[in-house]
Amino acid sequence: MSSLKGKRALILGLANDRSIAWGIAQALHAQGAKLAFNYLGESLERRVRPLAESVGAEIIEACDVTQDDQVAAIFGKVEEKWGGLDILIHSVAFASKDDLHGRFVDTSRDGFKLALDISAYSLVATSREASKLMPETGGTIITLTYYGSEKVIPGYGVMGVAKAALESSVRYLAHDLGTQKIRVHAISAGPIKTLAAAGGISNFRDILSQIEEKAPLHENVSPEDVGELAAFLCQDGARHMTGNLLYVDSGFNIMGS
């Protein structure tokens, strides 16, 4: 299968081989896409670089999405090396641990700003940069979200609010960028044990068990499952889809109890 042959994809949010970004990278690579990655800080570089090299990455650059100069720099590298971009994968989220444990009502102004900046505004800033590099034939932008944007998941707190802003941003971006044939989507994934999910969530096992018990398909999802949908959304077969929220959650979101 090489339906993405020669397509140029920038993947933001690879941390290790459990990352959802890794499942997406493998699926895009399998379909013939060329890949570029960012990493956050030197400690993650040591994990990211060998993984990225194993799928033939042509660009591996530091990029903290809160820093405008670093965002400009990585898109500058993409322009310099490839002269354009077809696919942007945004798989980035962060909130202060304090705001994931306590009550949402106690979220500080700074904690709220940080979560919304990294987890939602970064999609706007990177989509703007990506759109400047996408060809007249268009492109695809995909971000990752979670059901805690729609319903209260205790402990998800300010991240739920950030994901609601992210999902709404997808619709406004789809409207603006549709004139350039750029399609924008959010994939709402079920719980997956990644670095971002393991990071201090005491009842994560219960959350996974709940999917096995209650979701229509009674099975947890993997980064590879998410990757396959992402690859489909980047193909020509999805050219008339944009602004969507698509679930890879074994159907959990349709349940009323």
Rule CB under 6 A: which residues touch ligand NAD? 13-15, 19-21, 40, 44, 63-66, 91-94, 118, 144-146, 189, 191-192, 194-197
Give the integer Cα–Cα distance in Å for 122 and 245.
18
Let me know if 121 is a catalytic residue.
no
Binding at 14: pick from ligand NAD, ligand IMJ, none (beta carbon under 5-8 Å per type): ligand NAD
Residue 86 Cβ vs ligand NAD, minimum distance, rounded to whole Å: 21
Give the integer Cα–Cα distance in Å for 234 and 88.
10
Q: Is 207 in the site for ligand IMJ (CB under 6 A)?
A: yes
Binding at 13: pick from ligand IMJ, ligand NAD, none (beta carbon under 5-8 Å per type): ligand NAD
Q: Which of 198/217 has CB closer to ligand IMJ?
A: 198
Residue 159 Cβ vs ligand IMJ, minimum distance, rounded to whole Å: 5
Among the listed residues 146, 147, 172, 247, the single catalytic one is 146
Q: Is 44 in the site for ligand IMJ (CB under 6 A)?
A: no
Q: Is 201 in the site for ligand IMJ (CB under 6 A)?
A: yes
Strands 34-39 vs 59-62: parallel, antiparallel or unpaired: parallel
Q: Which of 199/216 has CB closer to ligand IMJ?
A: 199
Binding residues among 73-112 for ligand IMJ as defined by CB under 6 A: 93-95, 97, 100
Yes or no: say if 166 and 120 are a contact pair by the CB < 8 Å rule: yes
Residue 66 Cβ vs ligand NAD, minimum distance, rounded to whole Å: 5
Judged by phi (left if over 0) then psi (alpha if -120 to 50, else beta), residue 59 lies in: beta
Q: Which residue has the tokens 């002269």?
A: 83
Residue 236 Cβ vs ligand NAD, minimum distance, rounded to whole Å: 26
Q: Which of 188/242 has CB closer to ligand IMJ?
A: 188
Let me know if 172 is a catalytic residue.
no
Residue 234 Cβ vs ligand NAD, minimum distance, rounded to whole Å: 17
Amino acid identity of 159?
M
Among 37, 75, 112, 146, binds ligand IMJ (CB under 6 A): 146
- Residues annotated as catalytic are 146, 156
Binding region for ligand IMJ (CB under 6 A): 93-95, 97, 100, 146, 153, 155-156, 159, 191, 196-197, 199-201, 207
